Amino acid sequence: MAADGWSLSYRDLDRLSDEVAVGLAARGISDGDVLALLLPALPEYFVAYAAAAKLGAVTAGVNPRLAPPERNAVMENAGPRLVLATADLLAGQEARIDAELVVVEPAHSADVLLADLRRPGIAPPLRPDPERPVAIVYTSGTTGPPRGAVFAGRQLRTITDIDTGGVWGGGSVSMATTALTHLGPMTKLPGTLVRGGTTHLLTRWTAETALEMIDRHRMTGFGAIPTQAALMLASPHFAEYDLSSLQAVIIGGGPATPKLVRECRSRLAPLLSVRYSCTEAGIGVGTSFDDPPEDAEVSVGRPHAGVRLTVRDTEGSILPDGEIGEVCLASAAAMSAYWNNEEATEAVFTADGAVRTGDLGYVDDQGRLHLAGRSKEMYVRGGYNVYPQQVEAVLTEYPGISAVAVVPRVDEIMGEVGTVVVVPSDPRSVPTLDELRAFAARSLAKHELPEGLVVLDELPLTSMDKLDRRALAQLVAGSEPA
């Protein structure tokens, strides 16, 4: 159901995606071509995605929250033949899109949805191929070239079987809480169709909107990142909403504190599951609704069916339970490769085919995975990955700064937020946090902007004359954010 209240039935989805597929074929889109979607949370997204799949084309989602330069980089990597985008998102897209472009006017009924693309008829027959790419899911924020995880029919079938258990029906009334370009919406659409039910789309997620939607539509469950759950619980109007219809909440995409888990159970829904994976792995580990309550408070659960969880040292050797190392996940749901990035593909897989998540953790004597930080410098703000070097690369261009570093600090709502540490060229002329954020906002997404400022005479260095990020993290943790 769209944000403005009109609904799209399963019959509509099938019919309209057939007509869009015929229209796309008339524009030359065929097996193996890339369709890029620069769209907010609209029914048009899923109709176009289904249409492309019927033709054997590959859908690449371009996160609308990315800054224009980041979107450009995604487009360049994806190499689309056709791009669907709304006019407002194109307004900030300075670089020329080297592909055919269709401007999408958000529909207010199924009759006019993607009218410029639709042609009468049904999609032409497609030769079955479980290894044919269906979706490219770009990780949220990267250093260097964007990395798009490729998922084929084989992976989508695996994810669907795990999510549904092979049973049709039983769908719930829920809502999409993340951009449709994320792993969940891109890989779980087949499972959603198998289960049935209703998914409400929000043009822009806010805690108040989410609470109001649960109340008005009597939702039975939803998935959220920890930040979203925390914001909902912190709403000053929380008690005004009737949330009695909620039966279950799934939390994933970032660290959930024991306090947040307990509050979700007591104030949102009695059943709660914590999930953990990474884009490249497709699926990972999680707690079950009937697990002991402490499991979700102290861990991220056990491997899902068909998933092999290992913890490895820097050489790739598997460590025994209790020892901290890099978390690796292997299953039939893991991506095929990174799109147009062979070097990165080779680096992310172990010799025996497991995905290196870049996260540190250990497995306890009950088979539960405990996360212990990240082996990479990336941090997660509100479910979105932020890479300090990418932010630093922008801020080093700010006039009057001789050195800059970005490190995370813990935040009760967002999980982690960035603090920028600067060494001014002139100690009498120190930039303010607002000035730095305004400067960086021209090149970075909102979630990448720093939210604290520390001024130093010089940055700490290691014995090898490299930036000592551990010392900086300790300094930032002990300072008051600006």
Are 217 and 192 in contact by the 8 Å Cβ rule? The answer is: no
Measured from the Cβ of residue 142, the count of other Cβ atoms closer than 10 Å reads: 19
User: For residues 329 and 178, which has the higher predicted lDDT (pLDDT)?
Assistant: 329
What is the number of structural domains in the chain? Answer: 1
Give the pair of three-digit tokens for residue 137.
């899911």
Phi–psi pair at 469, nearest 5 degrees? -70, -30
Burial of 239 (0-12, 13-18, 19+ CB in 10 A): exposed
The confidence band for 68, taking pLDDT boundaries of 50, 70 and 90, is: confident
DSSP string of 61-110? E--TTS-HHHHHHHHHHH--SEEEEEHHHHTT--S--SSEEEEE---SSG
* Residue 178 to residue 357: CA distance in whole angstroms: 21
In a domain, 263, yes or no: no
In a domain, 387, yes or no: yes
Does residue 20 lie within any of the structural domains?
A: no
Mean pLDDT of the chain, nearest integer: 90
Mean pLDDT, rounded, for 260-279: 94
User: Which tens digit of pLDDT belongs to each residue from 199-239?
Assistant: 999 988 999 999 999 999 999 999 998 889 988 998 999 99
Least Cα distance to 43 among 94, 111, 97 occurs for: 111
Q: pLDDT class for 473, splitting at 50, 70, 90?
A: confident
* Residue 468 binned pLDDT confidence (cut-offs 50, 70, 90): confident
What average pLDDT score do residues 410-418 get?
92
Say if residues 403 and 459 touch (Cβ distance below 8 Å): yes
> Which of 257-266, 277-286, 330-339 shows the lowest mean pLDDT across its residues?
257-266
Q: Which domain holds residue 395?
A: 379-477
**Which two structure tokens, joined as six digits, stand for 401?**
């700064």
403: in domain = yes
Please tell me the predicted confidence (pLDDT) of residue 92. Answer: 66
CB-based burial of residue 322 (10 Å sphere; 0-12 exposed, 13-18 middle, 19+ buried)?
A: exposed
Least-confidence region, from 10-24, 281-295, 366-380, 439-453 = 366-380
Looking at residue 258, its pLDDT comes to 83
Per-residue pLDDT band for 2 (boundaries 50, 70, 90) equals low
Per-residue buried b or exposed e for 84-100, using 16+ beta carbons within 10 Å of the residue's own CB: bbbeebbeebeeebebe
- Residue 288 located in a structural domain: no
Residue 388 near residue 420, CB atoms below 8 Å? no
Asked whether the predicted pLDDT for residue 54 surpasses 80, the reply is: yes
* Secondary structure class of 152 (helix, strand, coil): strand
Average pLDDT over every residue of 259-266? 91
Answer whether residue 465 shows pLDDT above 60: no
pLDDT of residue 478: 75
Least confident of 58-62, 148-152, 313-317: 313-317
142: pLDDT confidence band, cut at 50, 70 and 90? very low
Gap between the Cα atoms of 177 and 167, Å rounded:
25
Q: Which helix (H) or strand (E) holds 388?
A: helix 388-395
Q: What is the pLDDT of residue 360?
A: 84
The CATH number of the domain holding residue 450 is 3.30.300.30
Whole-angstrom CA distances from 423 to 24, 357, 419, 464 are: 53, 33, 13, 20
In a domain, 64, yes or no: no
In a domain, 406, yes or no: yes
Burial degree of 461 (CB within 10 A; 0-12, 13-18, 19+): exposed
Per-residue model confidence (pLDDT) at position 463: 43
The answer to the question of residue 270 being in a domain is no
Give the pLDDT mean for 362-378.
84
Cα–Cα distance for residue pair 171/60, rounded to 1 Å: 26
What pTM did the predictor assign?
Answer: 0.82
The angle subtended at Cα 289 by Cα 286 and Cα 292, nearest 5°, is 85
| pLDDT (tens digit per residue) in 97-118 | 788 999 999 999 999 999 999 9
CA angle 113, 115, 116 (to 5 degrees): 135
Read off the amino acid at residue 359: D
User: For residue 464, what pLDDT band results from cuts at 50, 70 and 90?
Assistant: very low
